[in-house]
Amino acid sequence: MKQNGRNVKDEIADAFVTEFNRNGPKLTLDGVTAIIHISKKTIYKYFQSKQDIYRYILGKTTAYVEEKQREIRDNPDLPLREKIEKIITITTPYEIQLDVARIPELKEAEPEVFAEIDAAFHVQWEAVRDVLEEAISKGVVRTSCTPNFIITVLYASMTDFLREPFLRSESLSYTEAVHRLADLVLNGIFAQDN
**Stretches in the chain below the pLDDT threshold 70:** 1-6, 189-194
Say if 33 falls within a structural domain. yes
Overall domain count for the chain:
2
CB within 8 Å of 89: residues ≥ 6 apart: 175, 178, 179, 182
Residues 124 and 43 reside in one and the same domain? no
CATH of the domain at 10: 1.10.10
Q: What are phi and psi of 171, to 5 degrees?
A: 55, 45
Instruction: DSSP letter for 21, please.
Output: H
Residues 29 and 125 reside in one and the same domain? no
Range of the domain at 137: 54-187
Say if 193 falls within a structural domain. no
50, 56 Cβ separation under 8 angstroms: no
What pLDDT sits at residue 191? 64
Residues 144 and 118 reside in one and the same domain? yes
Say if 194 falls within a structural domain. no
What pLDDT sits at residue 3? 52
What pLDDT sits at residue 165? 81
Say if 78 falls within a structural domain. yes
What pLDDT sits at residue 124? 84
HEC string for 87-129: HHCCCCHHHHHCCHHHHHHHHHHCHHHHHHHHHHHHHCCHHHH
Q: Which among 10, 51, 8 has a CA at the least distance from the CA of 29?
A: 51
CA atoms within 13 A on the CB side of 41: 1
Name the β-bridge partners of 2: 7
Residues 125 and 42 reside in one and the same domain? no
Q: From the CB of residue 17, how many other CB atoms can be counted at a distance below 10 Å?
A: 21
